[in-house]
């Protein structure tokens, strides 16, 4: 299995309420990513890239059962033999709209889906969206990985649960706004350090209504070191990672072996 992976994170502006514009931009950026000097192994998109946070219209705008998104990203991943972590989309199901990631392997198979567990009250998500009920787990090149979405990173129990299940990488699509850049960087680095895993976070940039988004997509190694970070512009962030480093760090400081789970509160 391949241990060294090249990543491409699509840090894009999102036109809230306009899926056609957003699909067009994603198609252009995907084509740009796969024609780079070194083709990536994994491409990742940001949160809610199909609709943005047009929540009052979300019932009309959401992708029914994610079919349009799945069809396009599956075909693209197969055609270019790459993994795609499809950011997240507004997905309409029979019981409501979910904020959902779909992931695809090199053959175009849907290998995982995850709907955001923690809904962000500051943006009224709980009024318009349904919360997911399962963990986001997948396999990348024979290694376990996890998925979370934006606000989820404020809940360390979730990333620790994924790490205890064997995850060596954590993918985090987001729409994280100003002025909380310090929170964004600090929380992501903490999740990497405490779980000794790669954290790969793709944030949007641009403006939606009165909210400004700062980008700063990040790739953080298991020591908590930032190995790639974007600015605030629309861009594709590339980074190379070595999965063997996770095992080296976990051997060097055996935090999982030293846990005292019998003493931790479960409340």
Among 25, 92, 116, 130, the one annotated catalytic: 116
Q: Which of 25, 47, 130, 137 is catalytic?
A: 47
Contact 176, 203 (CB under 8 A): yes
Q: What CA–CA distance (Å, rounded) separates 11 from 41?
A: 17
Q: Answer yes or no: are the C-beta atoms of 104 and 83 closer than 8 Å.
A: yes
Exactly one of 25, 92, 143, 150 is catalytic; name it: 150
Q: Is 116 considered catalytic here?
A: yes
User: Length of the chain in residues, anyone?
Assistant: 267
Q: Is the dihedral of CA 65, 42, 177, 207 positive or negative?
A: negative
135 C-beta neighbours (distance < 10 Å), count? 16
Helical spans, DSSP H, in the chain: 19-34, 58-61, 67-80, 125-128, 156-164, 181-195, 244-252
Structure tokens at 194: 């405490």
Residue 202 among the catalytic residues: no
In angstroms, the CA 66 to CA 103 distance is 12
Q: Which residues are catalytic?
A: 47, 116, 150
């Amino acid at each position: 299995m391949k241990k060294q992976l090249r990543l491409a994170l699509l840090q894009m502006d999102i036109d809230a309420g306009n899926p056609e514009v957003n699909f067009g931009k994603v198609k252009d950026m995907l084509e740009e990513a796969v024609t780079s000097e070194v083709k990536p192994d994994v491409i990742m998109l940001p949160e809610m890239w199909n609709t943005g946070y047009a929540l009052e219209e979300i019932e009309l705008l959401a992708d029914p059962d994610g079919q349009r998104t799945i069809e396009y990203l599956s075909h693209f991943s197969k055609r270019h033999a790459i993994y795609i972590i499809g950011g997240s989309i507004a997905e309409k199901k029979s019981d409501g709209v979910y904020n959902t990631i779909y992931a695809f392997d090199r053959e175009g198979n849907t290998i995982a889906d995850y709907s955001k567990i923690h809904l962000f009250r500051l943006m009224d998500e709980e009024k318009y969206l349904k919360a997911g009920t399962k963990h986001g787990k997948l396999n990348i090149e024979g290694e376990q990985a996890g998925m979370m979405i934006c606000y989820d990173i404020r809940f360390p129990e979730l990333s620790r649960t994924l790490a205890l299940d064997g995850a060596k990488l954590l993918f985090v699509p987001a729409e994280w706004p100003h002025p909380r850049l310090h929170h964004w960087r600090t929380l992501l680095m903490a999740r990497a350090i405490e779980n000794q895993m790669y954290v790969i976070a793709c944030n949007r940039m641009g403006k939606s209504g009165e909210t400004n988004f700062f980008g700063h997509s990040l790739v953080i190694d298991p020591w908590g070191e930032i190995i790639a970070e974007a600015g605030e512009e629309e861009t594709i962030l590339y980074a190379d990672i070595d999965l063997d480093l996770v095992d080296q760090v976990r051997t060097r400081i055996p935090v999982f072996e030293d846990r005292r789970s019998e003493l931790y509160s479960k409340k």
